[in-house]
Amino acid sequence: MNKLEEIVARTRTEVARRRRLVPLSPASDAAPRRPFLEALRRPGLSLIAEHKRSSPSAGVIRAGLEIEDVVRAYERGGAAALSVLTEEDSFGGSLDDLRAAREATELPILRKDFIVDPYQVTESLVAGADAILLIVAALSSTELAALHEQARAAGLCALVEVHDEHELELAASVGAELIGINNRDLATLSVDTRRTLELLPLVPQQSIVVAESGFRTRAEIEELERAGVHAVLVGEALMRSADIESACRELTV
């Protein structure tokens, strides 16, 4: 069992436990969604700045920082949107992080987690997410289509994440408006930043493309923009910076 399979199996067990303990129904009084997709359509390459406490590949990334301070620094630094890791065991996140970010900033927020069950879509909506992540490699084609449609019906944007040409075809088949190309192989955890540029010509023309994993410098951002990428998701490089706001601004100005 590779790392992705391990996390997904654990997630399915944990979601089943939460469903028993905390039954949820779609909240008619949920706060209005912030326009995640529209935030990435502005001129130039948009930055999705990520709050990530730790990861399986990097271990603890940054301890001792309040999430409110981080996301406010991202907002001041020019980020177009936020990503908040909510997976607990491997990434140290929680839905409380998502709620705290929602209170601290006006930016639209992606819930970054291993979404494998309809319960999590409702959970994301209630917690204040504006978008969710759907990882094609973690889902059957039937699950992907159903979760993508559920998110759309709930008013949530879905970032459909792919790693190869086959997964990209599956993302296109469900009509994904927002496609993330992850340069990290979720089975081996290795990173190849050329993957984004290799898959980019195959993305449906109407889809917005987000480049994910491994990007750290302004030069890399400028190369992505020249290639036609619409947005880049950066977490670890920003979280490790001594001055998060300045590091964010360096990638957005």
Catalytic site residues?
50, 52, 112, 161, 182, 212-213
Tell me if 23 sits within 8 A of 29, measured CB to CB. Answer: no
Cα→Cα distances 1→56, 117, 187, Å = 15, 20, 9
Q: Nearest 5°: phi and psi at 47?
A: -105, 125
Mode of pairing for the β-strands spanning 59-60 and 54-55: antiparallel
Tell me if 214 sits within 8 A of 44, measured CB to CB. Answer: no
d(CA 68, CA 57): 25
Residue ranges with strand state E in the chain: 46-51, 54-55, 59-60, 81-85, 109-112, 131-135, 157-162, 178-182, 208-212, 231-234
